[in-house]
Amino acid sequence: MQLGLVGLGKMGANMAERVRRAGIEVVGYDRSPGKRDVDSLEALIAALEGPRIVWVMVPSGEPTRATVRELGDLLSPGDVIIDGGNSKFTDDKMHAELLGPKGIGYIDAGVSGGVWGLENGYALMVGGSAEDVAKAQPVFDALKPPTPHDESGDAIPGAGFVHAGPCGAGHFAKMVHNGIEYAMMQAYGEGYELLAAVDLIEDVPGVVASWTQGTVIRSWLLDLLVRALQEDPALEKITGYAEDSGEGRWTVEQAIEHAVPMPAISASLFARFASRQEDSPTMKAVAALRNQFGGHAVQAVQQQEAEKPA
Protein backbone atom coordinates (compact mmCIF):
# COMPACT_ATOMS: atom_id res chain seq x y z
CA MET A 1 0.00 0.00 0.00
CA GLN A 2 1.07 3.59 -0.64
CA LEU A 3 0.24 6.95 0.92
CA GLY A 4 0.93 10.39 -0.46
CA LEU A 5 1.49 12.97 2.28
CA VAL A 6 1.45 16.70 1.60
CA GLY A 7 3.02 18.76 4.39
CA LEU A 8 6.04 17.46 6.25
CA GLY A 9 6.21 19.80 9.23
CA LYS A 10 6.72 18.50 12.76
CA MET A 11 3.46 16.57 12.87
CA GLY A 12 3.34 15.56 9.19
CA ALA A 13 6.89 14.24 9.22
CA ASN A 14 6.23 12.19 12.36
CA MET A 15 3.03 10.78 10.88
CA ALA A 16 4.90 9.79 7.72
CA GLU A 17 7.51 7.98 9.81
CA ARG A 18 4.89 6.11 11.87
CA VAL A 19 3.10 4.96 8.72
CA ARG A 20 6.39 3.80 7.21
CA ARG A 21 7.12 1.77 10.35
CA ALA A 22 3.86 -0.08 9.70
CA GLY A 23 5.13 -1.19 6.29
CA ILE A 24 3.25 1.34 4.15
CA GLU A 25 5.20 3.22 1.48
CA VAL A 26 4.96 6.99 1.98
CA VAL A 27 5.74 9.54 -0.71
CA GLY A 28 6.02 12.97 0.86
CA TYR A 29 5.84 16.45 -0.60
CA ASP A 30 6.60 19.73 1.14
CA ARG A 31 7.43 23.20 -0.09
CA SER A 32 10.78 22.92 1.72
CA PRO A 33 13.20 21.08 -0.57
CA GLY A 34 15.13 19.39 2.23
CA LYS A 35 12.11 17.47 3.52
CA ARG A 36 10.38 16.14 0.43
CA ASP A 37 10.63 12.98 -1.63
CA VAL A 38 9.28 14.66 -4.78
CA ASP A 39 9.44 18.26 -5.91
CA SER A 40 5.82 18.87 -6.95
CA LEU A 41 2.27 17.69 -6.42
CA GLU A 42 2.30 16.43 -10.01
CA ALA A 43 5.32 14.25 -9.21
CA LEU A 44 3.62 13.03 -6.03
CA ILE A 45 0.56 11.85 -7.96
CA ALA A 46 2.74 10.23 -10.63
CA ALA A 47 4.61 8.26 -7.96
CA LEU A 48 1.43 6.69 -6.56
CA GLU A 49 -0.52 3.78 -8.01
CA GLY A 50 -4.29 4.02 -8.17
CA PRO A 51 -6.52 4.13 -6.32
CA ARG A 52 -4.46 6.81 -4.59
CA ILE A 53 -4.78 8.08 -1.03
CA VAL A 54 -3.33 11.54 -0.40
CA TRP A 55 -3.21 12.96 3.13
CA VAL A 56 -3.00 16.75 3.44
CA MET A 57 -1.23 18.18 6.53
CA VAL A 58 -0.84 21.88 5.80
CA PRO A 59 -2.09 24.94 7.74
CA SER A 60 -5.86 25.23 7.87
CA GLY A 61 -7.78 27.81 5.89
CA GLU A 62 -6.69 28.92 2.43
CA PRO A 63 -3.47 26.81 2.32
CA THR A 64 -5.58 23.66 2.78
CA ARG A 65 -8.31 24.84 0.41
CA ALA A 66 -5.77 25.62 -2.31
CA THR A 67 -4.06 22.24 -1.89
CA VAL A 68 -7.37 20.36 -2.10
CA ARG A 69 -8.34 22.29 -5.23
CA GLU A 70 -5.01 21.52 -6.89
CA LEU A 71 -5.17 17.86 -5.96
CA GLY A 72 -8.72 17.72 -7.27
CA ASP A 73 -7.41 18.68 -10.71
CA LEU A 74 -4.67 16.03 -10.59
CA LEU A 75 -6.33 12.96 -9.10
CA SER A 76 -8.58 10.38 -10.77
CA PRO A 77 -11.97 8.84 -9.96
CA GLY A 78 -11.65 6.39 -7.06
CA ASP A 79 -8.82 8.32 -5.40
CA VAL A 80 -9.27 9.76 -1.89
CA ILE A 81 -8.08 12.97 -0.26
CA ILE A 82 -7.78 13.12 3.53
CA ASP A 83 -7.59 16.52 5.24
CA GLY A 84 -5.83 15.85 8.54
CA GLY A 85 -5.31 19.49 9.51
CA ASN A 86 -7.37 21.64 11.85
CA SER A 87 -9.84 22.81 9.21
CA LYS A 88 -13.22 24.19 10.20
CA PHE A 89 -15.87 21.51 9.63
CA THR A 90 -17.81 23.80 7.30
CA ASP A 91 -14.92 23.62 4.81
CA ASP A 92 -15.38 19.86 4.55
CA LYS A 93 -18.77 20.12 2.86
CA MET A 94 -17.27 22.54 0.35
CA HIS A 95 -14.42 20.15 -0.41
CA ALA A 96 -16.72 17.14 -0.75
CA GLU A 97 -18.99 19.06 -3.14
CA LEU A 98 -15.95 20.08 -5.21
CA LEU A 99 -14.50 16.56 -5.42
CA GLY A 100 -17.68 14.48 -5.59
CA PRO A 101 -18.56 15.22 -9.24
CA LYS A 102 -15.02 14.16 -10.18
CA GLY A 103 -15.44 10.80 -8.45
CA ILE A 104 -12.76 11.67 -5.86
CA GLY A 105 -13.48 10.71 -2.26
CA TYR A 106 -12.93 13.05 0.65
CA ILE A 107 -12.31 12.29 4.33
CA ASP A 108 -11.88 14.83 7.12
CA ALA A 109 -9.65 13.55 9.90
CA GLY A 110 -9.31 15.21 13.27
CA VAL A 111 -5.90 14.23 14.61
CA SER A 112 -4.68 14.54 18.20
CA GLY A 113 -1.29 13.52 19.49
CA GLY A 114 1.02 16.40 18.70
CA VAL A 115 4.76 15.86 18.78
CA TRP A 116 4.29 12.71 20.89
CA GLY A 117 2.24 10.88 18.28
CA LEU A 118 5.19 9.21 16.57
CA GLU A 119 5.82 6.98 19.56
CA ASN A 120 2.40 6.97 21.26
CA GLY A 121 0.11 6.99 18.24
CA TYR A 122 -2.53 9.50 17.18
CA ALA A 123 -6.17 9.67 18.22
CA LEU A 124 -8.20 9.87 15.03
CA MET A 125 -11.74 11.16 14.49
CA VAL A 126 -12.78 10.80 10.85
CA GLY A 127 -15.74 11.81 8.74
CA GLY A 128 -16.70 10.54 5.32
CA SER A 129 -18.39 7.67 3.53
CA ALA A 130 -17.91 4.12 4.76
CA GLU A 131 -16.42 3.21 1.35
CA ASP A 132 -13.76 5.92 1.49
CA VAL A 133 -12.91 5.23 5.13
CA ALA A 134 -12.46 1.53 4.32
CA LYS A 135 -9.93 2.40 1.59
CA ALA A 136 -7.85 4.37 4.09
CA GLN A 137 -8.33 2.07 7.09
CA PRO A 138 -4.82 0.53 6.93
CA VAL A 139 -3.38 4.06 7.23
CA PHE A 140 -5.62 4.85 10.19
CA ASP A 141 -4.63 1.56 11.83
CA ALA A 142 -0.96 2.46 11.39
CA LEU A 143 -1.40 5.88 12.96
CA LYS A 144 -3.68 5.13 15.90
CA PRO A 145 -2.33 4.02 19.30
CA PRO A 146 -2.02 0.32 20.11
CA THR A 147 -5.33 -1.23 21.13
CA PRO A 148 -5.65 -1.01 24.93
CA HIS A 149 -6.99 -3.87 27.04
CA ASP A 150 -9.08 -3.91 30.19
CA GLU A 151 -8.16 -5.64 33.46
CA SER A 152 -9.45 -8.98 32.17
CA GLY A 153 -7.29 -8.73 29.05
CA ASP A 154 -10.12 -7.97 26.63
CA ALA A 155 -9.54 -5.37 23.95
CA ILE A 156 -11.28 -2.05 24.48
CA PRO A 157 -13.14 -1.41 21.21
CA GLY A 158 -12.95 1.97 19.51
CA ALA A 159 -10.16 3.44 21.63
CA GLY A 160 -8.03 5.85 19.58
CA PHE A 161 -10.11 5.76 16.39
CA VAL A 162 -13.70 6.57 15.45
CA HIS A 163 -15.59 6.93 12.20
CA ALA A 164 -17.63 9.76 13.68
CA GLY A 165 -20.11 10.18 10.84
CA PRO A 166 -20.43 11.71 7.38
CA CYS A 167 -18.23 14.39 5.90
CA GLY A 168 -17.47 17.09 8.48
CA ALA A 169 -18.02 14.88 11.50
CA GLY A 170 -14.32 14.25 12.05
CA HIS A 171 -13.34 17.89 12.22
CA PHE A 172 -16.42 18.73 14.29
CA ALA A 173 -15.43 16.05 16.83
CA LYS A 174 -11.85 17.39 16.91
CA MET A 175 -13.19 20.92 17.39
CA VAL A 176 -15.12 19.85 20.49
CA HIS A 177 -12.07 17.88 21.68
CA ASN A 178 -9.96 21.02 21.50
CA GLY A 179 -12.61 23.09 23.26
CA ILE A 180 -12.51 20.63 26.15
CA GLU A 181 -8.71 20.83 26.06
CA TYR A 182 -8.93 24.62 26.49
CA ALA A 183 -11.02 24.24 29.66
CA MET A 184 -8.80 21.51 31.13
CA MET A 185 -5.63 23.54 30.59
CA GLN A 186 -7.28 26.59 32.14
CA ALA A 187 -8.29 24.60 35.23
CA TYR A 188 -4.79 23.21 35.68
CA GLY A 189 -3.34 26.69 35.22
CA GLU A 190 -5.64 28.24 37.80
CA GLY A 191 -4.88 25.48 40.29
CA TYR A 192 -1.15 25.99 39.75
CA GLU A 193 -1.49 29.74 40.31
CA LEU A 194 -3.31 29.29 43.62
CA LEU A 195 -0.72 26.80 44.85
CA ALA A 196 2.06 29.22 43.95
CA ALA A 197 0.28 32.20 45.55
CA VAL A 198 0.25 30.87 49.13
CA ASP A 199 3.15 30.49 51.53
CA LEU A 200 1.67 27.27 52.93
CA ILE A 201 2.73 25.15 49.93
CA GLU A 202 6.50 24.69 49.88
CA ASP A 203 6.76 22.32 46.89
CA VAL A 204 4.37 23.36 44.14
CA PRO A 205 5.86 21.10 41.43
CA GLY A 206 5.75 18.20 43.90
CA VAL A 207 2.06 18.74 44.62
CA VAL A 208 1.23 18.80 40.92
CA ALA A 209 3.30 15.66 40.35
CA SER A 210 1.51 13.90 43.21
CA TRP A 211 -1.77 14.28 41.33
CA THR A 212 -0.59 12.11 38.42
CA GLN A 213 -1.21 8.82 40.23
CA GLY A 214 -4.45 7.62 41.77
CA THR A 215 -6.40 10.89 41.51
CA VAL A 216 -9.52 11.68 39.51
CA ILE A 217 -7.81 14.64 37.79
CA ARG A 218 -4.86 12.70 36.40
CA SER A 219 -4.40 13.03 32.63
CA TRP A 220 -1.78 13.31 29.93
CA LEU A 221 -2.13 17.10 30.09
CA LEU A 222 -1.28 16.95 33.79
CA ASP A 223 1.77 14.82 32.96
CA LEU A 224 2.88 17.51 30.53
CA LEU A 225 2.45 20.21 33.18
CA VAL A 226 4.67 18.17 35.50
CA ARG A 227 7.25 17.95 32.72
CA ALA A 228 7.12 21.73 32.18
CA LEU A 229 7.59 22.39 35.92
CA GLN A 230 10.54 20.02 36.04
CA GLU A 231 12.20 22.07 33.32
CA ASP A 232 11.20 25.46 34.80
CA PRO A 233 9.79 25.11 38.38
CA ALA A 234 8.50 28.69 38.61
CA LEU A 235 7.71 29.04 34.87
CA GLU A 236 10.00 32.07 34.79
CA LYS A 237 11.31 31.42 31.26
CA ILE A 238 8.00 32.02 29.48
CA THR A 239 5.35 34.75 29.38
CA GLY A 240 1.66 34.26 30.07
CA TYR A 241 0.65 34.96 26.46
CA ALA A 242 -1.55 32.16 25.09
CA GLU A 243 -2.70 32.03 21.47
CA ASP A 244 -5.80 30.21 20.26
CA SER A 245 -5.79 28.12 17.09
CA GLY A 246 -9.45 28.61 16.17
CA GLU A 247 -11.19 25.48 17.43
CA GLY A 248 -12.04 27.05 20.79
CA ARG A 249 -13.80 29.93 19.04
CA TRP A 250 -15.63 27.56 16.69
CA THR A 251 -16.75 25.39 19.62
CA VAL A 252 -18.26 28.38 21.40
CA GLU A 253 -19.91 29.54 18.16
CA GLN A 254 -21.57 26.14 17.76
CA ALA A 255 -22.63 26.14 21.41
CA ILE A 256 -24.41 29.46 20.84
CA GLU A 257 -25.99 28.25 17.60
CA HIS A 258 -27.35 25.09 19.25
CA ALA A 259 -28.18 26.68 22.63
CA VAL A 260 -25.77 24.41 24.49
CA PRO A 261 -24.52 25.99 27.75
CA MET A 262 -20.73 25.94 27.73
CA PRO A 263 -19.51 28.22 30.55
CA ALA A 264 -16.18 26.49 31.27
CA ILE A 265 -14.99 26.34 27.66
CA SER A 266 -16.19 29.88 26.97
CA ALA A 267 -14.37 31.23 30.02
CA SER A 268 -11.15 29.44 29.04
CA LEU A 269 -11.30 31.01 25.57
CA PHE A 270 -11.83 34.50 27.00
CA ALA A 271 -8.96 33.92 29.44
CA ARG A 272 -6.67 33.46 26.44
CA PHE A 273 -7.83 36.78 25.06
CA ALA A 274 -7.06 38.40 28.42
CA SER A 275 -3.55 36.92 28.37
CA ARG A 276 -2.69 39.12 25.40
CA GLN A 277 -3.53 42.39 27.14
CA GLU A 278 -0.62 43.99 28.93
CA ASP A 279 -3.03 46.47 30.53
CA SER A 280 -6.69 45.44 30.31
CA PRO A 281 -9.08 48.16 29.09
CA THR A 282 -11.87 46.30 30.91
CA MET A 283 -10.09 46.51 34.23
CA LYS A 284 -9.28 50.15 33.62
CA ALA A 285 -13.02 50.78 33.30
CA VAL A 286 -13.71 48.72 36.43
CA ALA A 287 -11.13 50.70 38.41
CA ALA A 288 -12.58 54.00 37.15
CA LEU A 289 -16.10 52.94 38.13
CA ARG A 290 -15.02 51.89 41.62
CA ASN A 291 -13.41 55.28 42.05
CA GLN A 292 -16.51 57.11 40.80
CA PHE A 293 -19.16 55.38 42.92
CA GLY A 294 -17.17 54.59 46.04
CA GLY A 295 -14.14 56.80 46.03
CA HIS A 296 -11.89 53.75 45.86
CA ALA A 297 -8.28 54.50 45.09
CA VAL A 298 -6.97 54.13 41.56
CA GLN A 299 -3.38 53.66 40.51
CA ALA A 300 -2.06 56.21 38.05
CA VAL A 301 0.11 55.03 35.19
CA GLN A 302 3.06 57.01 36.57
CA GLN A 303 2.63 55.35 39.97
CA GLN A 304 2.45 51.89 38.36
CA GLU A 305 5.66 52.52 36.44
CA ALA A 306 7.41 53.79 39.57
CA GLU A 307 6.44 50.70 41.51
CA LYS A 308 7.72 48.26 38.93
CA PRO A 309 10.79 46.32 40.10
CA ALA A 310 14.02 47.48 38.58
CA dihedral 220, 224, 227, 229 (to 10 degrees): -130
Ramachandran class of 201: left when φ > 0, alpha when ψ lies in -120 to 50, beta otherwise:
beta
CA dihedral 209, 214, 219, 221 (to 10 degrees): -10
First-residue to last-residue Cα distance in the chain:
63
Distance between CA atoms of residues 186 and 285, nearest Å: 25
Would you call 30 helix, strand, or coil by DSSP?
Answer: coil
Distance between CA atoms of residues 5 and 12, nearest Å: 8
Backbone angles phi, psi at 127, to 5 degrees: -130, 145
158: closest CA among 172, 140, 178?
Answer: 140
Confirm whether 10 is a catalytic residue: no
Cβ 124 vs Cβ 144: under 8 Å: yes
CA–CA–CA angle 86, 161, 24 (5° rounding)? 85
Q: Which of 10, 88, 174, 284 is catalytic?
A: 174
Distance between CA atoms of residues 83 and 60, nearest Å: 9
Q: Which H or E run contains 107? A: strand 105-112
Catalytically annotated residues: 174
